[in-house]
């Protein structure tokens, strides 16, 4: 099946008891054993598995062209598990990009993850720097985020994956911003593709789930499944049901998201009060050619720097009327946010930067709102 068909059909079947086309929500926490002690439907207890979760995992596996999928209660639970699931026979050294989701920076600074692992930060867009970091000491995991948050940096997935594999390290790509509609890390040689399903896969800002899709069976996957079951950070049946509903429209939504973002990026680039626009779809973006090679389109996330400083950027954010001033991304609404003030003193975001998630509104309305805010 092609992507759009898999998004609608994988993980789903007609309900045998009622013939309903839409899968019911299975709220039961426990499942009956047969007289001989077996579990005829392979469901035992909902922390271990649930029909809605199984359906979602099957669907996401197919969309990423993977081997298996493990879902968690949030994107951060998936991220944490993917780091901690590094097998014990692998070095505790983890290479990460210098531009990455602030939640990971908080994970490193506010929990014991940083103490348990040797975290090395590099410019993931500089292959020479990446290679030197990998070869300088035994490495267990190489983490990519592309396009990155919030500066939209683009890493060469295939090249970095090859360097990591030659050293025996696992590779991970946070594929949340691109989604499997635009980018398939596993087919480029990566071991694990991570998603905050909360964002584009769910698509409506009404659920919270994280997912890790594995390219093949491995000790890493075994640990992830054990972490899910034993540590218990599992998504609810209703959130899984919502995510599976959202995934059905993922492909057409992403096409509209991307088309809108391209127009908005071009508009912002030409505006006299905008200092810089970070969007890989622009020909002048440093990662444009790599993104064009490994992505089918350039996504709907962008950031731009307002001429002046934080005061001027905050003034633009205060004046928008159609954009919603809110954290998160990937929903039907367009969001705009001043990242530096959200992230605090440790932020890597420039003080005049606004991050934008382009939604599904009419693009002319979005441009008109930005135009009046920038005046």
CA–CA distance, 253 with 141 (Å, rounded to integer): 33
Question: Does position 345 have pLDDT exceeding 90, yes or no?
Answer: no
Question: Does position 41 have pLDDT exceeding 90, yes or no?
Answer: no
Per DSSP, the three-state class of 150 is: coil
Nearest to 246 by CA among 8, 1, 26, 3: 8
Query: pLDDT of 174-229, one tens digit each?
Result: 999 999 999 999 999 999 999 999 999 999 999 999 999 999 999 999 999 999 99
Q: What is the pLDDT of residue 58?
A: 97
Q: What is the mean pLDDT of the chain?
A: 96
Q: pLDDT tier at 311 (50, 70, 90 boundaries)?
A: very high
Query: pLDDT of 280-302, one tens digit each?
Result: 999 999 999 999 999 999 999 99
Mean pLDDT of the region 136-163? 98
CA–CA distance, 270 with 147 (Å, rounded to integer): 22
Nearest to 241 by CA among 71, 79, 75: 71
Burial class of 229 by CB neighbour count within 10 A (0 to 12, 13 to 18, 19+): middle
Nearest to 180 by CA among 295, 46, 21: 295
118-122/170-174 β-pairing = unpaired
- Cis ω for the linkage preceding 150 (within 30 of 0): yes
Query: pLDDT of 80-113, one tens digit each?
Result: 999 999 999 999 999 999 999 999 999 999 999 9
Per DSSP, the three-state class of 34 is: coil
210-214/68-72 β-pairing = antiparallel
Return the active site residues.
47, 101, 174, 199
Query: pLDDT of 230-251, one tens digit each?
Result: 999 999 999 999 999 999 999 9
CA 111 to chain centre: 21
CA–CA distance, 203 with 245 (Å, rounded to integer): 9
């Amino acid at each position: 099946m092609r992507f759009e068909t898999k998004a609608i059909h994988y993980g789903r079947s007609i309900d045998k008891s009622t013939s309903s086309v839409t899968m019911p929500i299975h709220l039961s926490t426990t499942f009956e054993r047969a007289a001989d002690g077996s579990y005829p439907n392979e469901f035992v207890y909902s922390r271990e598995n649930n029909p809605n979760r199984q359906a979602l995992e099957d669907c996401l596996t197919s969309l990423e062209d993977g081997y298996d999928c493990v879902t968690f209660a949030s994107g951060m639970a998936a991220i944490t598990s993917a780091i901690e699931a590094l097998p014990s026979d692998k070095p505790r050294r983890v290479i990460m990009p210098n531009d990455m989701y602030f939640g990971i920076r908080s994970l490193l600074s506010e929990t014991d993850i940083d103490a348990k692992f040797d975290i090395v930060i590099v410019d993931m867009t500089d292959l020479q720097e990446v290679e030197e970091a990998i070869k300088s000491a035994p490495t267990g995991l190489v983490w990519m985020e592309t396009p990155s948050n919030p500066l939209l940096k683009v890493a060469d997935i295939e090249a970095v994956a090859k360097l990591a594999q030659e050293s025996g390290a696992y590779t991970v790509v946070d594929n949340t911003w691109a989604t499997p509609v635009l980018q398939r890390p596993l087919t480029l040689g990566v071991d694990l593709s991570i998603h905050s399903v909360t964002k584009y896969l769910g698509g409506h800002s009404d659920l919270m789930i994280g997912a890790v899709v594995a390219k093949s069976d491995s000790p890493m996957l075994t640990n992830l499944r054990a972490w899910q079951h034993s540590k218990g950070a599992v998504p609810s049946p209703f959130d899984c049901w919502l995510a599976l509903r959202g995934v059905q429209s993922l492909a057409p939504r992403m096409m509209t998201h991307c088309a809108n973002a391209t127009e908005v990026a071009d508009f912002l680039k030409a505006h006299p009060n905008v200092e810089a626009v970070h969007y890989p779809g622009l020909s002048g973006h440093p990662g444009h050619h790599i993104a064009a090679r490994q992505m089918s389109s350039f996504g709907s996330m962008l950031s731009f720097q307002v001429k002046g400083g934080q005061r001027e950027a905050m003034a633009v954010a205060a004046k928008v009327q159609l954009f919603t001033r809110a954290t998160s991304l990937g929903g039907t609404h367009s969001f705009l946010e001043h990242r530096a003030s959200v992230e605090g003193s440790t932020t890597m975001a420039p003080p005049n930067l606004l991050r934008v998630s382009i939604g599904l509104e009419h693009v002319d309305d979005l441009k008109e709102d930005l135009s009046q805010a920038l005046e």
